[in-house]
Chain A
């Protein structure tokens, strides 16, 4: 049985919840008191992930950390049609590239959110600036894809790259990062929300409406 060590407000945990739901995989969620309990920095959790970060996914003996790696594991195991991590070499390379973008550059938007919501001592101006730089790259890329007739970050159908990038982009306003300047991103977010099996997390749909 798959267990997800989960925190409701974590966009990284949400990536995994989203993927599990889309693939219709049953799992047990183990809530971790990330805040205010800081349980992810305590010995029990550090035994699962010495980096002290969420999410962690276990599948019997297997222990995985890092949302992007977990996405890859889930689609490798449960996506029989291979659409979420396509086999074509060039597409696969691009999927991996944009998946990594979701775990690296986009995380500046997560840092800004942690600063604004939970008072993390980050340099907020710097994080917002980095997030805007990443969003600009993403917006340009999506616009180019659309010109070519493609709706997704890589390939011709939604992939783990879209799932890896979606949460912190859609939650950016929690961290004071407006998306007014990124119309292509807005169109892409809407398409991700229409993927069968899509689920919300607190904030995502609200931001969309307001």
Chain B
């Protein structure tokens, strides 16, 4: 296996939700091609071990509990887990939607998440519908101060933008790629002009072309139960899973011209450039 670049090693990755990691349910999983074991201790704390090929505990990995998730890293991140102040806002509900296992690279997952043009064809009659397939011109910018990629002013007609929506609305979108492998969507909150709902995807790269996608919603919603919100989001993710698993190569091509993008997509181009400049080699070509 090729050497893992330090940019990839030095990121925080979600490996489980806090509530699903209990003393009776440790998580034996993989991260960046290595076996790891996450355990809840008697005192409620956590330990995450890097395991050898034969299952011995080799070294303890750093661990954080943040936003109802357990995070770890294989390297030495410069900072803490990215900030998400909305998590602490009064009245918002954090809804952890579970894990979806997808055979693709983390870069492909983020890129698909940023791509609005697939909505009318993939999330038919939910996030998009023909003939209203127009994606408004949106702005992509790299925020150098925080090293995050943002796409703003994305407007789109959606027949059923959220679980609670009963009619189609023009939806405002913003995308935030908070680190190379973590992305958050901010979208118009039905019935609240002053707030946006969040949908986040946090791929845990098992290896270069296999991921467990952890995903959540962080919403103001007095109408839907958690069950309804979870099922809505899981349905969307299953549709994405199919596109993702059909993409070849499974790695994200970063060399210019390596893949002819039929729909030249600004967010996608910027995302690829950004992680290339950062030195991300893992899961890319």
Please report A residues at the B interface, Cβ cutoff 8 Å.
7-9, 31-33, 35-37, 39, 116-119, 173-174, 200-203, 205-207, 210
Contacts and interface: CB of A to CB of B under 8 A. Distances in A.
B234 A9 contact: yes
A210 B242 contact: yes
Given A7-B231, A117-B100, A119-B101, 19 more contacts: A8-B231, A9-B231, A9-B235, A31-B230, A32-B227, A35-B234, A36-B17, A36-B20, A37-B227, A37-B230, A117-B241, A118-B101, A119-B99, A174-B241, A174-B242, A200-B124, A202-B239, A203-B242, A206-B122
B238 A203 contact: yes
Nearest to B19: A36
Which interface residue of A36, A119, A173 has the most chain B CB atoms within 10 A?
Answer: A36
B116 interface: no
A36 B243 contact: no
A117 B227 contact: no
Interface of B: 17, 20, 96-101, 122, 124, 212, 225-228, 230-232, 234-236, 238-239, 241-243, 246
Given A36-B20, A116-B101, A205-B124, A173 B227 contact: no
Task: Identify the 7 closest CB pairs spanning chains A and B, nearest first.
Answer: A36-B98, A31-B227, A202-B235, A202-B238, A8-B231, A206-B242, A33-B227
Contacts, number: 68
A8 B97 CA distance: 13
Contacts of A202: 234-236, 238-239
Q: Interface residues of B: mostly helix, strand, loop or mixed?
A: helix
Contacts of B236: 202
A117 B243 contact: no
A116 B99 CA distance: 11
A31 to B, nearest CB: 4
Contact of B98 (A35, A39, A116, A203): A35
Contacts of A7: 231
B124 A117 contact: no
Contacts of A32: 227
A202 B230 CA distance: 14
A64 B47 CA distance: 45
Contacts of B232: 8
Which interface residue of A33, A118, A202 has the most chain B CB atoms within 10 A?
Answer: A202
Which interface residue of B96, B225, B242 has the most chain A CB atoms within 10 A?
Answer: B242
A8 B239 contact: no
A201 B243 CA distance: 15
A33 B226 contact: yes
A36 B97 contact: yes
Contacts of A37: 226-227, 230
Contacts of A116: 101
B129 to A, nearest CB: 13
Contacts of A117: 100-101, 238, 241
Contacts of A9: 231, 234-235, 238
A207 B230 contact: no
A39 B228 CA distance: 13
A26 B99 CA distance: 32
Contacts of B122: 206
27 contacts: A8-B232, A8-B234, A9-B238, A31-B225, A33-B226, A33-B230, A33-B231, A36-B17, A36-B96, A36-B97, A36-B99, A36-B230, A117-B238, A118-B98, A118-B99, A118-B100, A200-B124, A202-B238, A202-B239, A203-B238, A203-B239, A203-B241, A203-B242, A206-B242, A206-B243, A210-B243, A210-B246
